[in-house]
Amino acid sequence: MKNRIKAGIAALSAISLLLVGCSSGTSKAAAMKDGTYDGEAQGHNGKLKVSVTIASGKISDVKVTDNIETTGVCENAIANVPAEIVKNNSVSVDATTGATVTSSAIRLAVQNAIESNGGNIDAYKANVETKKNDDQTLDCDVVVIGAGGGGMTAAVRAAEDGAKVILIEKNGQIGGDTVLNAGTLIATGSKFQKEKLNETNDSPELAYADIMKVGLNANDPEMVKMITESIGETVDWLVDDMKVPYDVAATQYPDHSANRQIGVVGRSPVFFTTMAANFEALGGTTMLETKADTLLTDKDGNISGVKATDKTGATVTINAKSTVLATGGYGANSKLLPTTLGGYMFYGRSTDMGDGLTMGEAVGANTINLDCVKVYPQGIETMTGRALAATASSTAATNGHGAIYINTKGQRVVKETGTLADITNATVAQSDKILYLLMDEDAYKTYVAKSLEDKLVSSEDDINKWYDIKNDDKPVITKGTDLSAIAKTMGIDADALKATVAKYNSDCAAGTDTQFQKESPTAVKDGGTYYLVEQRPRFCTTLGGLKADSSIAIIDANGKAIGNLYGAGSVVGGGNGKDSMTAMMNSWAIGSGRVAGDSAAEHALGK
């Protein structure tokens, strides 16, 4: 069944969009008193709590009362899973695709509430069958596969160009990996840059040089030229026409040679709310929980659409004049990843399986840089093997405040205000792949404030929960007035740390950082509370992918465009080389999405 999604609401709100199953039978009333009971379970980012109301022996209400799940990913699961449990009087309901951990946590928390209060959980575990939809065939001008930053932008742009567009997304919510980030872009060549950043010395050529430098010249020059020459128009289109609320980014990271970084007010979830509303207003059709399986081809090998499967197992065949792959990277697929990522934390979506890469290769697409993965520093491992992205918080704490990065040996190892690449390299150079951020009270207050501003956490209580999380028998964070004591808690050489802080503070008093030449260094204040929080390397997005030409048409090994096939975002490789500048992953996704939307629509409409 084709669903016309009320876009701005469907993307990020708590209204149910799932295809609802029906129960195979009604559970017998449990031997449990009526009342409201509490339960909890481990969610994606921490404890998730529920209240469960039993009336006449049946589950009459389920509410998620507390959680720190990821904004832009968890909302539909938090709305839909409790509603399905109540409807079916059973915890054996389907998960929301793309929010499996949150869905499972809700089900387990409900089960724990029942069992811990004397209920018979078997009475609430009846199988819930999902009725299969009828197979269907749809026709359109452009089909876009994947509703992350690249796919959403491509879909909106193609629809604005006059094409009939269908956007399919295998998850239960739009956003992809882009919804997890701060929503920053480079604004090179835009009116916005001149008017808001007062920057007149930037140029596509300067941005090109910066990108190639950070990418260690492993970039595809054609992709870099395309993005740097078009991103200004993309930014002005987003601001002026799409009404996405951009402003100057709070932090201008130093890996850029000019002031060019902007960010969405409200981060990426606001980008998707706005763009989804635009797509719906332009007549676009969004189909959630619809997974692309195979690209369709005609007798000449040109792409003619896609065959997909909806949540119920029904086949959805979409015939299209142009197809845009925007399925993201392959960070969650260990079979496709390089073998050099031991000790690195994953912070992306579990559904980042490289679907588009696999489908593209199946029709002869060439690839580039498949061994390259974007690694960031400053990850907080709140769940085994997975990290929160606390870069903005750590950066804020080190800018003009008493905070330094140290290793397990108690040594300061990097300039705190250096580039993210510098901090990443210093982190992964450690044998244990970890640094620690030492903060005084002033720096810690800034860290917390930035975490709240960026919605890394919903309250300071969420950070306080980190004290109870242990990795390798050490807490994620510790505090105290005795520097040696908190060093020992973290397994850090206490004597070396005291010497490091004394040397750094002495340099600050003299006004010169003799070790790393940090500008205007600020001492770590004596006499108050010290804080130590772990800083681990983290990865989400992959840098390699399918090879494309300047129109974002996917090409084969001979450099020839595969008929009717385009790409956007991380499924296309080469834009960022072996590493990416701050804001460039998002800039690549959205910037390539606009170009892909134009190219796909122009081809489909014969313009």
Average pLDDT over residues 397-420: 96
Average pLDDT over residues 50-63: 95
In a domain, 492, yes or no: yes
Reported confidence tier of residue 270, pLDDT bands at 50, 70, 90: very high
Can you tell me the distance from the alpha carbon of 15 to that of 491, in angstroms, rounded to the nearest whole number?
Answer: 47
Average pLDDT over residues 139-149: 98
Please indicate, yes or no, whether residues 487 and 499 belong to a single structural domain of this protein.
yes
Please indicate, yes or no, whether residues 413 and 519 belong to a single structural domain of this protein.
yes
DSSP 276-289: HHHHHHTT-EEESS
Please indicate, yes or no, whether residues 124 and 142 belong to a single structural domain of this protein.
no
Return the pLDDT at 82.
97
pLDDT at 197 over 80: yes
In a domain, 9, yes or no: no
* CATH classification of the domain holding 31: 3.90.1010.20
Instruction: List CB contacts of 379: < 8 A, sequence separation 6 or more.
Output: 345, 347, 387, 388, 389, 390, 535, 536, 537, 538
* CATH classification of the domain holding 435: 3.90.700.10
Please indicate, yes or no, whether residues 119 and 174 belong to a single structural domain of this protein.
no
Please indicate, yes or no, whether residues 71 and 198 belong to a single structural domain of this protein.
no
Return the pLDDT at 4.
37
pLDDT at 24 over 70: no
Average pLDDT over residues 204-226: 97
Which domain covers residue 209, as residue numbers?
136-372+543-605
Structural domain count, the chain: 3
Contact 356, 168 (CB under 8 A): no
For 161-179, how does the pLDDT look when each residue is reduced to its tens digit (9 = 90+)?
A: 999 999 999 998 899 989 8
Return the pLDDT at 52.
97
**Of the candidate ranges 57-61, 272-276, 349-353, 444-448, the one whose mean pLDDT is the lowest:** 349-353
Average pLDDT over residues 535-557: 96
Q: Which of 129, 158, 184 is the last residue of a domain?
A: 129
Q: Which of 83, 100, 129 is the last residue of a domain?
A: 129
Tally of helices (H runs) and strands (E runs) in the chain: 16, 27
In a domain, 8, yes or no: no
CB half-sphere exposure, 368, CA atoms < 13 A = 25
Please indicate, yes or no, whether residues 193 and 330 belong to a single structural domain of this protein.
yes
Six-digit token string for 268? 């990426």
Reported confidence tier of residue 254, pLDDT bands at 50, 70, 90: confident
Tokens 């969650």 -> residue: 332
Q: Do the strands 367-368 and 545-546 form a parallel or antiparallel pair, or are they unpaired?
A: antiparallel
For 327-337, how does the pLDDT look when each residue is reduced to its tens digit (9 = 90+)?
A: 999 999 989 99
In a domain, 1, yes or no: no
Can you tell me the distance from the alpha carbon of 283 to that of 395, in angstroms, rounded to the nearest whole number?
Answer: 42
DSSP assignment letter at 131? P
Q: Which residue has the higher pLDDT, 453 or 328?
A: 328
Reported confidence tier of residue 28, pLDDT bands at 50, 70, 90: very low
| Cβ-based neighbour number of residue 124 at 10 Å | 26
In a domain, 12, yes or no: no
In a domain, 14, yes or no: no
Please indicate, yes or no, whether residues 534 and 548 belong to a single structural domain of this protein.
no
For 78-88, how does the pLDDT look when each residue is reduced to its tens digit (9 = 90+)?
A: 999 999 999 99
The mean pLDDT of the chain is 92
For 526-540, how does the pLDDT look when each residue is reduced to its tens digit (9 = 90+)?
A: 989 999 999 999 998
Q: Do the strands 561-567 and 315-325 form a parallel or antiparallel pair, or are they unpaired?
A: parallel
Return the pLDDT at 394.
96
Please indicate, yes or no, whether residues 221 and 289 belong to a single structural domain of this protein.
yes
Please indicate, yes or no, whether residues 433 and 489 belong to a single structural domain of this protein.
yes
Please indicate, yes or no, whether residues 366 and 354 belong to a single structural domain of this protein.
yes
Give burial (CB, 10 Å; 0-12/13-18/19+) of 511. Answer: exposed
DSSP 508-530: HHHT--TTT--SS-----SSS-E
Please indicate, yes or no, whether residues 51 and 124 belong to a single structural domain of this protein.
yes
Q: Which of 129, 162, 191 is the last residue of a domain?
A: 129
pLDDT at 8 over 50: no
Return the pLDDT at 16.
33
**Of the candidate ranges 27-36, 292-301, 463-472, 535-544, the one whose mean pLDDT is the lowest:** 27-36
Return the pLDDT at 5.
38
In a domain, 7, yes or no: no
Average pLDDT over residues 174-198: 94
Which among 212, 186, 179, 197 is positioned nearest to 582, based on CA atoms?
186
Please indicate, yes or no, whether residues 164 and 185 belong to a single structural domain of this protein.
yes
Contact 307, 135 (CB under 8 A): no
Can you tell me the distance from the alpha carbon of 560 to that of 567, in angstroms, rounded to the nearest whole number?
Answer: 15
Contact 589, 150 (CB under 8 A): yes
Return the pLDDT at 31.
56
In a domain, 6, yes or no: no
